[in-house]
Structure 1
Amino acid sequence: MNGYNRLAPFYDRLATVFVGKQLQQAQLALLPYLQQKRKLLILGGGTGWILSHIFKINPTLEIDYVDSAAQMIARARQRAGSNQRIRFIEGTEAAVPDKDYDAVITNFYLDLFTAQDLMVLIGLLRASVANGATWLVTDFEEHTGGQRMKVKLMYYFFWMATGLKTRALPPWYQILINAGLLPVESKSTRSRFIRTVAFQFKIK
């Protein structure tokens, strides 16, 4: 996954070229769910453009920001400036340090996983969150031939650029439902290519 270091300087621009402005708009759609939260885990945070938007919603939120690429972390740190409420962690979901998050964000992160590996991730997160935590997910869905072709091209590009081994989009929404996550609200872009869902972990 270290191939993402090479992409860091132009990653956001590249994403916009692939998908357009709806890529960022979708990630902002359900951020109000963070208003009353205390501690947020972000997996695959990327360059950190979303941080300022999160703190507008909840200025007192504590954030653990996890990304496997050192250059992504460096850009996110630069954007965060002197904010002391963010802990940056270079690593994957295996590096998640705590067990008391009441919110999780995975934006365009679940598409890195096979269906089997996604089940492992769900189990890891379930062990890392507080009772009834919120999980905000934004990712691609395939509804048309054109969308399937675009997803195929994106996987090919990231395989060439980063060595990404996953080659197909997992049915992430259904997998999360089958694993017991409760969908609270769902929003899709006009083309239905990108979907954002607020899930709740079942109250124990």
Structure 2
Amino acid sequence: MLNNYDHIARYYDSLSRLIFFKSQVNAQVHQLRFLPEKGRVLIVGGGTGWILEEIAKLRPEGLVVVYVEISAKMMALSMNREIGGNQVDFVHLGIEDFSSDQRFDVICTPFLFDNFAPERAAMVFKQLDNLLKNEGLWLHTDFNLGERKEGKVTGRNGTWWKTAFLSLMYHFFKFAGNVEASKLINMLPYFVGADYKISEEKYYYRKFIQSMVFKKKNQ
């Protein structure tokens, strides 16, 4: 099964903190202040579910969270998290197979798109865009190689160490998680092309980790 981290589920968080310290955690936690007091939240690829406990600290009740995760072992870990008074619906599926007749106020995609080949990334972006309400928020966190100048996306890559580091990561995760991607996709043009507006933009780990909050246009 593609993009499934069952083999390293138990060690995933420890590996992340060993390499990136708390940069990956902070990049996601600092976005949570954008969550509404009440509403529907879709989290795609949340891993071991530690983010659910962080959400409960900030919003102890009032949220309906749909948690979509392809890894059965990651899902099992997530289901043991303290979620406060929030409702969490756990969905064991790849996002490509997920559908809902309801729309969401917020969508979270933590380190999701770095798993996908370009064709699948485009498909999943469109799918999630259709699930987000007008004027809804998309909390996007991922690795970053590109640059932006004067509000425009450039084609430049990051420094050499980022490119080398990312190449090593992809080799490891192809072995450990059967990841289909072989290079990082710059997702910013997708958001720009869909007329999303940037509400917040932050970088971590010497700009190797990108944290962005996008607002969907009222169509």
* TM-score normalised by the chain length of structure 1: 0.93
Give the Cα separation in 1 of the matches to 2:103 and 2:41: 9
Alignment of 1:110-125 (within 5 A): 110-125=113-128
Unaligned runs of at least 5 residues, structure 1: none
Stretches of 4+ moved more than 3 A in 1?
80-84
Alignment of 1:93-112 (within 5 A): 93=95, 94-112=97-115
Residue number among 85, 88, 93 corresponding to 1:86 in the alignment: 88
1:13–1:96 distance in 2 versus 1, CA, 3 Å: farther
Alignment of 1:1-204 (within 5 A): 1=2, 3-58=4-59, 59-80=61-82, 85-93=87-95, 94-142=97-145, 143-189=158-204, 191-204=206-219
Give the Cα separation in 2 of the matches to 1:79 and 1:89: 15
Offset at 1:152?
Answer: 0.7
Unaligned runs of at least 5 residues, structure 2: 146-157
From the two aligned structures, give the one with the greater helix fraction.
1
Offset at 1:202?
Answer: 1.3
1:6–1:82 distance in 2 versus 1, CA, 3 Å: farther
Give the Cα separation in 2 of the matches to 1:95 and 1:8: 21
Deviations 1:164-198 (A, max 9, x none): 12100001122321232221111111511111100
Percentage of matched positions with identical amino acids: 29
* TM-score normalised by the chain length of structure 2: 0.87
User: Pairwise CA RMSD of aligned residues?
Assistant: 1.8
Give the Cα separation in 2 of the matches to 1:126 and 1:80: 29
1:62–1:156 distance in 2 versus 1, CA, 3 Å: same
Deviations 1:93-150 (A, max 9, x none): 1213343111000000011123332221121112212221100001101221101111
Q: How many residues in Structure 1 have an aligned counterpart in Structure 2?
A: 204
Deviations 1:36-65 (A, max 9, x none): 450000000100011111122222111000
SS in 1 for 2:207: coil
